A and B are shown apart, each in its own frame.
Chain A
Amino acid sequence: MGRVVLVIDDEPEIVEMVASRLQAGGYQALKAVSGKEGIEKARQALPDVILLDIMMPEMDGYQTLRRLKQDDTTKKIPVLMLTVRAWNQDIEKALQEGAFDYIVKPLDVRVFAEKVKKAIELGRAA
């Protein structure tokens, strides 16, 4: 049974593609297309890692992150932010809010695999 990764992004195509890549890497992928849906799925399934987009309508990545970190059941799950590297302040802010690391879109295959693996190792250790 592979590790479970939850992908939260408002673009369904991106969620689809990232999930496909994760499955190819031997992970089990869960999909969510909004912050709200993501939080629900995170609570139910308790994934090993969450991939979270920063720029989303309604509830953005920061708000979603904050909710996840406030909830006792989900606060220990490492969160990797997905970002298009718009501004460094965005990344800084996400890290200060408790994100584990960030991944830049378009994805670099090697970096993506490394960061997901590292996050899972940390999640297991904690």
Chain B
Amino acid sequence: MTKNPRPADWMRMSPRQFLITLFRSIGLPLIVLIASLIITFLLWEYASIPLWLIATACFISFFLFAILFALSISRERAIWYVKGMTQKLRQEFEDREQFLSAIPSILIGVDENDIITHWNRVAEGTFGFSEDSVRNKKLSECGIPCNTKQILMGIQACRNKKEPVRLDDISFKRPNGQEGFLGIKIIPVHRSHQGKVHALLFGADITERRRNEELKNEFVSTVSHELRTPLTIIKEGVSQVHEGILGSLNEQQQKFLGISLDGISRLGRIVDELLDISKIEAGKFDLRRENIDVAALAKKIANEFSSSIKERGLQLKMECPEDEVNIYADRDRVAQVFINLIVNAMKFTEKGTLGISIKDSPKFAECSVWDTGRGIEPENLPKVFGKFQQFGQPTASAERGTGLGLAICKGIVESHQGEIRVESHLGRGTRFTFMLPKYNTKELFIHHVKIGLRNAVRQDSFYSLILANLQNVDTSFLHSIENLIRQSLREQGGTVIRDTHSILVLLPAAGKDESMGVARRIEEVCHEFLARQAVNAKMSVVCSVASFPEDGNTEEKLLSKAGGQELWVA
């Protein structure tokens, strides 16, 4: 069914409006008509002009009248239309302004030159500056007590990327003088014909929320301390007696203390798991990421478990590439995932095989732990990663867990931006697979420089990075060189990230001169080291430095200034 086309606006005149328009349009044409008729009449009366000529003149007069009338009426109609549209636009504009000022968050609008065009009531209340006092001023010069530098960089980034940008934890001074924090989202507004990009800033005072988060973290960390301190005392006491440090024991005493120690370790694990899950839920799972070889890690763990797997009468099968499978991850946490999955598989497998496999692909390292155990019922499969979920009775010798292990695995894998899944056939076995993303150098370096840069801008401090290019350096020396660099940084502190042919050193709060000094020192120790190896005379380490703010204010600019262009091509 087709919709009837909407009649054009000018057709929808009310009858009254039409009469008014008619009346307005008829005046001038009527005067012209009457004047020309009078002239014709006078000419006929006094100039004895032939009748046919007079008739023609009359005809022309009417014709003129008709044309004039038509022109006039369309002019009136056009005026009526424009008037109506103007009114409508004004109404719409007023509505929009009302919507904008009714938004219950801070709303600040800036044009392409960062001049403030909007400043709503919430913004007035938050900063204590009225709209009149800041409107038409530059954002950087309007004097609001807030880290405008960071906001301006955000706006710039938003214009460049042409997509919304989020800024967290921007410090500002509340009107009562207290320190506060803002969360801001910047949205680009395109002017379709001029190619200019205005920006709208939506924000909220997140001081309270931040304080609550800090309290929660503090709580978790206090509870963790309070639970583990007595646990440490009990464990130490019992194990020292058990080890015979304080005198010899009879067999029964030895056995009972052994059982107590198992219980204590189990209690320790439960405390750890509860704290891990609360950290995961608070979104505060902090990772200590570094470059790790996940294949070597899996082999090491399999080795540690091999005897207890054999004791249970199971076979261990390992499928692993010979080469390194490098990922950027938290070693202890990835190990925890493997251990949880292996322990889990052992619990539910009476006979057959327990397998661990690692597959390398360009984007992911795919790790699996599989078994030929009893499997999981299809209806329970979607629930295995839930909290406190336990299915089936474990084998006789296994200890009962908290039901948190798999939920923690999922949390760990997801905080690495990976994914975990499970396949299972009842009576035939189960396979857990988790994929950990591999990062290329560019993504990794950009990610780190970005975090550091954000902090530097927030604290209004310097920030430097040193890119050490390893030329012709054999990969077997990479570890040693990384360690050398770490050692030479002991005094400054800083972060070191390694790739196969470059090492990035991030120095928070360090200015250009200081970083140049550090770079020279790194070069010296590396040269000394390489000279001692005397394998290949061509091996060298060349450092280049880039500093914020003098060398740029974006992660891309800093990295390319530090000579990282080749990274972009690679």
Q: Do A and B interact with each other, yes or no?
A: yes
Task: Please report A residues at the B interface, Cβ cutoff 8 Å.
Answer: 11, 13-14, 17-18, 20-21, 24, 55, 84-89, 91-92, 96-98, 105-107, 109
Q: What residues on B are CB-neighbors of A97 within 8 Å? A: 493
Q: What residues on B are CB-neighbors of A21 within 8 Å? A: 236, 240, 245
Q: What residues on B are CB-neighbors of A55 within 8 Å? A: 225
Shortest C-beta distance, B377 to chain A (Å), equals 36
Asked, given contacts A17-B240, A24-B245, whether A87 binds B233 with beta carbons under 8 Å apart, the answer is no
Asked, given contacts A21-B245, A91-B288, A92-B288, whether A11 binds B240 with beta carbons under 8 Å apart, the answer is no
Question: How many Å lie between the Cα of A13 and that of B239 in the bound state?
Answer: 14
Task: Please report B residues at the A interface, Cβ cutoff 8 Å.
Answer: 217, 220-221, 224-225, 228-229, 231-233, 235-237, 239-240, 243, 245-246, 264, 268, 286-288, 330, 490-491, 493-494
The 6 closest A-B pairs by CB, nearest first: A96-B493, A17-B236, A86-B221, A84-B228, A24-B245, A106-B232
Q: Is the interface of A mostly helix, strand, loop or mixed?
A: helix
Which residue of A14, A89, A98 is within 8 Å of B490 (Cβ)? A98
Shortest C-beta distance, B207 to chain A (Å), equals 21
Shortest C-beta distance, B169 to chain A (Å), equals 16
**20 extra A-B contacts, CB within 8 A, seeds A84-B228, A84-B232, A88-B286:** A11-B229, A13-B233, A14-B229, A17-B233, A17-B237, A20-B236, A20-B246, A55-B225, A85-B224, A87-B217, A87-B286, A88-B287, A88-B330, A89-B286, A96-B493, A98-B490, A98-B491, A106-B232, A106-B236, A107-B232
Q: What residues on A are CB-neighbors of B220 within 8 Å? A: 86
Interface centre among B233, B243, B245, B330 (most CB of A within 10 A): B233
Asked, given contacts A86-B224, A92-B288, A97-B493, whether A106 binds B245 with beta carbons under 8 Å apart, the answer is no
Contact B286 A14 (CB under 8 A): no
Question: How many Å lie between the Cα of A97 and that of B491 in the bound state?
Answer: 8
Shortest C-beta distance, B164 to chain A (Å), equals 29
Q: Is the interface of B mostly helix, strand, loop or mixed?
A: helix
Contact B231 A106 (CB under 8 A): yes
Which residue of A89, A92, A106 is within 8 Å of B228 (Cβ)? A106
Question: How many Å lie between the Cα of A122 and that of B245 in the bound state?
Answer: 27
Instruction: Give A18's nearest chain B residue, CB to CB.
Output: B236
List 23 A–B pairs whose Cβ atoms lie within 8 Å, in order of A's numbering: A11-B233, A14-B229, A14-B233, A17-B232, A17-B236, A17-B237, A20-B245, A21-B240, A21-B245, A55-B225, A84-B224, A84-B225, A84-B228, A84-B229, A85-B224, A86-B220, A86-B221, A87-B217, A88-B286, A96-B494, A97-B493, A98-B491, A106-B264
Question: How many Å lie between the Cα of A17 and that of B225 in the bound state?
Answer: 17
Shortest C-beta distance, A106 to chain B (Å), equals 4
Question: How many Å lie between the Cα of A13 and that of B493 in the bound state?
Answer: 33
Shortest C-beta distance, A114 to chain B (Å), equals 15
Interface centre among B220, B229, B264 (most CB of A within 10 A): B229
Asked, given contacts A14-B233, A17-B233, A96-B493, whether A109 binds B288 with beta carbons under 8 Å apart, the answer is no
Q: What residues on B are CB-neighbors of A106 within 8 Å? A: 228, 231-232, 235-236, 264, 268
Question: How many Å lie between the Cα of A63 and that of B231 in the bound state?
Answer: 26
